[in-house]
Structure 1
Amino acid sequence: MSEWRELNEDSKTIWEQNAKHWDEYMGNESNRFHQELIRPYTEKLLKVKKRQTILDIGCGNGNFSRRLAELGAHVVAFDYSEQMVESTKNRSENYLNQIDYRVVDATNYDELFSLGNKKYDSAVANMALMDIADITPLVNSLHKLLKTNGTFVFSITHPCFQTPGLRKINETEDIEGKIMIKNSIQISKYLSPES
């Protein structure tokens, strides 16, 4: 457990240092990756209805929290970066009657249980789980946080896109007088776990 605690503290320190940059980078509308790939499918899986209560885990700068509020949900959103939550509140002034932002550490059972018991229709973690050093407390807490038949929707980067030794390949090919450019990645240890 002490190894995870140390990793969690390192991660929290890094996010505190990068909070301002990340907030500016994501802006009010998020980036194209979130807008075109993550958001539409996450919304489809969540099946958001007006007046639902949704838990936004690792909310970052609150882009998706605000989107959920636009769809009519009441949102409790948390992140473990105090600076990120402060920036998020500043970006969300028009939504503060629908979004309750909190500083909560997803690796801490007591902090998670402070969010309420059987309170949430759904929980969502958009591109956040891979930044949580130990997801065991969060996963073990979800059944207590979610209402009966509540849903948990998450998105993560597929491990093949983040492996050490990944090679990015750019090829230019002349096909019947037309120049075609192909981008790809080469993975050499896809099925072998990294230590």
Structure 2
Amino acid sequence: MSEWKELIQDSQSRWNENAEYWDDYMGEQSNQFHRELIRPYTEKLLNVKEGQTILDIACGNGNFSRRLAELGANVIAIDYSPKMIERAKLRSKEYLNCIDYRVLDATNHGSLIELGKQKFDHAVANMALMDIADITPLMKALQKLLKKNGSFVFSITHPCFQTPHMRKVHEIEDIDGDIHSRNSVQIFNYLSPQPYEAIGIKGQPSPHFMFHRSLSYYFNLSFQNNFVLDGIVEPCFNKEKEPNRFDWYEIPPVIILRFKKL
């Protein structure tokens, strides 16, 4: 077995180990990142129409799958963690007539193609591609899975500002008797793709793997598979007051992209 396949299996094993903890934490409404930064802009970029068929990639506990169903879509939702799919089904008993949950590895091109060529109006992946060891099979498959003019919308941790071992900096300065504070980040090793271990939620049973890739990596892989970029959002939190800590104001922690099939 190649080292790459071992890494994929190790990543899957860790997500399965963390699945119940993540589901308990995310609950029905998910976390602040999803509620304020991901969902509203992803919905806008997807522009879901009633009756459309949408592929939800790395669906987790099904939070967004259920939202898509509420918007009138028929959803096939996949995740490579059996425990996460089990939790998603338990939370989605009222939606199982319009959400088809499946355990499926997004690095397996053949399994993806079996979902159905030109079956989907759109595909979406919320905060997931940076957790997938190899996204090349997925991008190749999506070109076949999407209908004409179909789109793929995905959000990731912003690779320009959240590189491996990135440091958050909060500085306080006395300027002529007034206290001023500012936030910044120190980044390292932006250009080189690399795996690293990370903690997404404090207290999770095991660190999970993240896979850093530059923006040009995502862009060029999409272009090579005949997608064109036609939507982009870099959201950050609204600054209501000056906090005495680092927060994501003016520095976007995530980026959301829409690529349309040519």
Query: Same-fold call, TM > 0.5?
Result: yes
Name whichever structure is richer in helix by fraction: 1
* Deviations 1:124-172 (CA, angstroms, capped at 9, x unpaired): 0111111111111111111211111111111111223433442221112
**Partner of 2:135 in structure 1?**
135
How far did residue 177 of structure 1 move?
Answer: 4.7
Does structure 1 conserve the Cα–Cα contact (< 8 Å) formed by 2:163 and 2:188?
no
The aligned counterpart of 2:144 is: 144
**Whole-angstrom distance in 2 between the partners of 1:26 and 1:154:** 19
For structure 1, the 5+ residue unaligned runs are none
Three-state SS of the structure 1 residue aligned to 2:157 is coil
Shift of 1:66: 0.8
Give the partner amino acid of 2:29. Answer: E
CA displacement 1:58-95 (0-9 Å, x = unmatched): 00111111111111111100000000000011111111
Structure 1 CA distance for aligned equivalents of residues 58 and 170 of structure 2 = 34
State the distance in 2 between where 1:112 and 1:59 align: 14
* Residue identity (%): 67
Query: How far, CA to CA, are the matches of 1:109 and 1:187 in structure 2?
Result: 33
Which structure 2 residues correspond to residues 6-21 of structure 1 after superposition, within 5 A? 6-21=6-21
Q: Which segment is superposed worse, 142-151 or 178-187?
A: 178-187
1:181, distance to aligned residue in structure 2 (A): 3.1
Q: Which runs of 5+ in 2 are unaligned?
A: 195-262
Opposite residue 169 of structure 1, the aligned amino acid is V
Q: Offset at 1:189?
A: 4.6
Cα gap change, 1:137 to 1:36, in 2 (>3 Å): same
Question: Which residue is equivalent to 1:70?
Answer: 70
SS at match of 1:160: coil
The aligned residue for residue 108 of structure 1 is 108
What's 2:184 paired with?
A: 184
> How many residues end up aligned between the 2 structures?
194
Secondary structure at the residue paired with 1:43?
Answer: helix
Name the SS of the counterpart of 2:185 in structure 1.
strand
The one-letter code sitting in structure 1 at the alignment partner of 2:99 is: I
After superposition, the C-alpha distances for 1:5-35 in whole angstroms (9 at most, x for unaligned) are 1111010000010001111111100111111
Higher deviation after alignment, 103-112 or 9-18:
103-112
Residues 128 and 189 of structure 1, relative CA distance in 2, 3 Å threshold: closer
| Paired position in structure 1 for 2:80 | 80
Q: 2:23: which partner in 1? A: 23
Partner of 1:193: 192
1:4 to partner: Cα distance: 2.3
Q: Is the 8 A contact 2:7 2:133 kept in 1?
A: yes
Aligned amino acid, residue 2 of structure 2: S
The aligned runs of 1:46-61 (5 Å cut-off) are 46-61=46-61
Task: Using structure 1 for the length normalisation, give the TM-score.
Answer: 0.92
User: Bigger CA drift: 28-37 or 160-169?
Assistant: 160-169
Q: Deviations over 1:32-67 (max 9, x none)?
A: 111111111111111101111000000011111111
